[in-house]
Amino acid sequence: MTTPSRSSPDPASEIPDVGDLHLRYYPDPLLGKRCRPLGVPNRAAQACIQRMIELMYEHQGIGLAAPQVGWNARVFVTNVDPDGLTSEGDRVFIDPQLEPLSEVPEAEDEGCLSLPGIRLEVERATALRVQALGFDGEPYQLDAAGLLARCIQHENDHLDGILITARVSTLQRIAVRSKLRELKLQWDEQERRT
């Protein structure tokens, strides 16, 4: 595993206006795209990250990735604090690199803010090591297990354009097909209004 780059954000990489960030739902095309590296965040990127944390709380999530709010960047935030999501548990992951530490994956129930009403049994490593840049742009390494490891893997999948529906059996996908159709109809209606 290599250390994430501390280079500055690519000038071509667009940092959105904070006011434009809002939760995106399936089948928004950005949810299916691999995101670009960010590098050391500038003030505009830090403002976007802070807004992501706010949106994570507003939607009562434990993690949120940049593409879920319309930002094409390899960034996600988490807080799996079981005591009511205090800001002490906020974690920022910029350009993360993951290394599984457990050999046998475990299946557990997962939901996704971008797939409301859908819960699926997803297999994940139970422990991992992640290297990333933090909010301040400094590199760090973290060993995680349990819910935090699962959350990190889930959010990291978003950076590669992978939703939980791609991580499950065909039978599970069939079981939620009607709900996915419903979400697509809602998304299409919203797009027509804008």
Q: What is the pLDDT along the chain (194 residues), one digit of tens a residue?
A: 655 555 554 443 589 999 999 999 999 999 999 999 999 999 999 999 999 999 999 999 999 999 999 999 999 999 998 665 566 789 999 999 999 998 899 999 999 999 999 999 999 999 999 999 999 999 999 999 999 999 999 999 999 999 999 999 999 999 999 999 999 999 999 888 87
In a domain, 152, yes or no: yes
Q: Which entry of 99, 155, 189, 191 is annotated as an active-site residue?
A: 155
How far is residue 55's CA from residue 60's CA, in Å, rounded to a whole number? 8
In a domain, 174, yes or no: yes
- The pLDDT, as a whole number, for residue 12 is 36
Question: What residue type is assigned to position 167 of the chain?
Answer: R
In a domain, 10, yes or no: no
In a domain, 1, yes or no: no
In a domain, 91, yes or no: yes
- The pLDDT, as a whole number, for residue 45 is 97
- The pLDDT, as a whole number, for residue 14 is 84
Q: How many separate domains does the chain show? A: 1
CATH number of the domain where residue 67 is located? 3.90.45.10
For 40-75, what is the HEC assignment? Answer: CCCHHHHHHHHHHHHHHHHCCCCEEEHHHHCCCCCE
In a domain, 79, yes or no: yes
- The pLDDT, as a whole number, for residue 1 is 60
Give the pair of three-digit tokens for residue 131: 């290297």
Buried-state track 69-81, b at ≥16 Cβ within 10 A, e below 16: bbbbbbbbbbbbe
| Residues paired with residue 141 on neighbouring β-strands, in sequence order | 131
Under a CB-based contact definition with an 8 Å cutoff, are residues 9 and 45 in contact?
yes
- The pLDDT, as a whole number, for residue 13 is 53
Give the pair of three-digit tokens for residue 57: 């709380």
Residue numbers of the domain that contains 156? 18-193
Q: What is the pLDDT of residues 149-162, one digit of tens each?
A: 999 999 999 999 99
Give the closest residue to 106 by CA, choosing from 144, 63, 142, 150: 150
Q: How does DSSP classify residue 145?
A: E
Q: What is the DSSP string of 79-109?
A: ---TTT--GGG-EEEEEEEEEE--SS-EEEE
In a domain, 7, yes or no: no
Helix (H, G, I), strand (E, B) or coil at 136: coil
Q: Quick check: is 88 catalytic?
A: no
In a domain, 144, yes or no: yes
How far is residue 49's CA from residue 75's CA, in Å, rounded to a whole number? 8
Question: What predicted TM-score, i.e. pTM, was given to this entire model?
Answer: 0.90
Distances (CA, A) of 97 to 68, 82, 100, 129, 193: 19, 25, 10, 8, 39
Q: What is the pLDDT of residues 160-178, one digit of tens each?
A: 999 999 999 999 999 999 9
- The pLDDT, as a whole number, for residue 6 is 56
